[in-house]
Amino acid sequence: MNTCDMIIKNGMLVDPATGRETLGELHIRDGLIVEPAEGATAKYMLDAAGMYVLPGLIDFHAHVYRGGSDLSVDPATMPAQGVATVVDAGTAGTGTMPGLLAEMASAPLRMKTFVNITPTGLATFRTHEPIRPEIFDVPRLRGLFREHADQILGIKFMAGRERIDNLAPLDITLDIASELGVPVVVHCTNPPTGAGEIARRLRKGDVFAHCFHGKGPNILGEDGRVLPEVRKARERGVIMDASNGSAHFSFRVAEAALREGFLPDVIATDLTMITLFAEPVHSLPHLMSKYLNMGLSLMDVARCCTSTPAALCRMEGRIGTLRPGAFADVTVLRETERRTVFYDTDGDSRVGERCLIPHLTVIRGIPAFRSPDMPSL
């Protein structure tokens, strides 16, 4: 008799990596998704009737360096949000990265990170290290990428006017990244110049973070349309990251962009201690629900939290998909009709009726979170 570790039956399988949305069942054995076999049994026989079965959600922009920053959340909170992989968005700098790498080694979910261009990174909410090229530690950056290329995806740069008054430090950072062959995630909220000036500098694979922010110059021009420089950046492969956070999402900007068909590539939380299970973020499924109520399809929303970030994590085909042979990272969500108020970070709100609730998170083939409402067969 064919024996699996887990079988999830009767759910709607949604796999953006293949574009397929089908009613079926998912079989898991030895930490991998396997081809369904008729008559197979399993230790966990779960009934996902009326639910969506997705690849394990990937939160591509969060802050989870719990031991090295007072703004970070404990990564152990992520599986209850349906998250199987989290990417720390530059909380650790060149001087503090060893501590984060040690935490990542024992994390309860998959973790990747970006390294902040400044030595101390984002150690505290209260103050941030000035971004001055003379403090950039290029030799240490070289060593980090040489020794930890699998864990460290690229460099983080904060381009807000709170940190810089011109883009010269960004230009130097991009030059360093080009030498190292890595991408840069650029925090673009409240920049010292127009958003187009940042966008035109970015290279294929770089990330324009907080693309729907409304603080200071943003992706919309004076005519209310997406700036040509931003469109051209996307065309050459710059990633548009709609990480929400406590200050980086405006309904006005997002709705204008969506009307033009300008969808984000990534939907992420930018989670910190002040937004964990609290507005305007709460959790990744809550943000996914917001975009559903803004008119995006479930497939488009799921793509922003699964297959696209999987590729950015350099794990395409291994996570972010339900294909047989992929790692068994799976999220089960139920969509409920419930009046919900969604908030932006500019004091605006919208009311929606579609709400995604996590019921099961499987990581490496093992249940990391299971709601009491997730029934067995």
Local confidence band at 377 (pLDDT 50, 70, 90 cut-offs) = confident
Q: Is the pLDDT of residue 161 over 80?
A: yes
The reported pLDDT for the residue numbered 275 is 95
The reported pLDDT for the residue numbered 244 is 98
What tens digit of pLDDT does each residue of 91-142 get? 999 999 999 999 999 999 999 999 999 999 998 877 777 799 999 999 999 9
Domain that holds residue 39: 3-54+323-336+352-370
Mean pLDDT score of the chain: 96
Instruction: Provide the CATH number for the domain around residue 19.
Output: 2.30.40.10
Instruction: Provide the CATH number for the domain around residue 153.
Output: 3.20.20.140
What tens digit of pLDDT does each residue of 162-175 get? 999 999 999 999 99
**Residue 344 falls within a domain, yes or no?**
no
The reported pLDDT for the residue numbered 316 is 98
Nearest alpha carbon to residue 30 among 324, 291, 249, 264: 324
Which residue carries 């864990």 as its tokens? Answer: 151
Average pLDDT over residues 272-288: 96
Average pLDDT over residues 181-189: 98
Instruction: Provide the 8-state DSSP code for 134.
Output: G
Whether residue 131 is found in the same domain as residue 231 = yes
**Residue 102 falls within a domain, yes or no?**
yes
d(CA 206, CA 171) in angstroms, rounded, equals 13
d(CA 285, CA 358) in angstroms, rounded, equals 7
What tens digit of pLDDT does each residue of 188-240 get? 999 999 999 999 999 999 999 999 999 999 999 999 999 999 999 999 999 99
Strands 3-15 and 20-29 come out as antiparallel
The reported pLDDT for the residue numbered 164 is 93
Whether residue 177 is found in the same domain as residue 87 = yes
**Residue 343 falls within a domain, yes or no?**
no
What tens digit of pLDDT does each residue of 49-63 get? 999 999 999 999 999
Average pLDDT over residues 243-247: 96
The reported pLDDT for the residue numbered 16 is 98
**Residue 346 falls within a domain, yes or no?**
no
d(CA 297, CA 334) in angstroms, rounded, equals 15
Instruction: Provide the 8-state DSSP code for 172.
Output: H
Local confidence band at 249 (pLDDT 50, 70, 90 cut-offs) = very high
Whether residue 45 is found in the same domain as residue 62 = no
Local confidence band at 1 (pLDDT 50, 70, 90 cut-offs) = low
Whether residue 187 is found in the same domain as residue 306 = yes
Whether residue 8 is found in the same domain as residue 81 = no
Nearest alpha carbon to residue 184 among 168, 160, 204: 204
Percentage above 70 pLDDT, the chain: 100
Total number of domains in the chain: 2
Whether residue 20 is found in the same domain as residue 102 = no
**Residue 170 falls within a domain, yes or no?**
yes
Whether residue 92 is found in the same domain as residue 185 = yes
**Residue 230 falls within a domain, yes or no?**
yes
Whether residue 61 is found in the same domain as residue 36 = no
Q: Is the pLDDT of residue 339 over 90?
A: yes
**Residue 228 falls within a domain, yes or no?**
yes
What does 21-38 look like in DSSP terms, one character per residue?
EEEEEEEEETTEEE---T
Q: Which residues pair with 59 in a beta bridge?
A: 86
Whether residue 189 is found in the same domain as residue 69 = yes
Whether residue 33 is found in the same domain as residue 100 = no
Which residue carries 């930490």 as its tokens? Answer: 31
Whether residue 218 is found in the same domain as residue 360 = no
Whether residue 32 is found in the same domain as residue 174 = no
Write down the pTM of the prediction.
0.97
Percentage above 90 pLDDT, the chain: 96
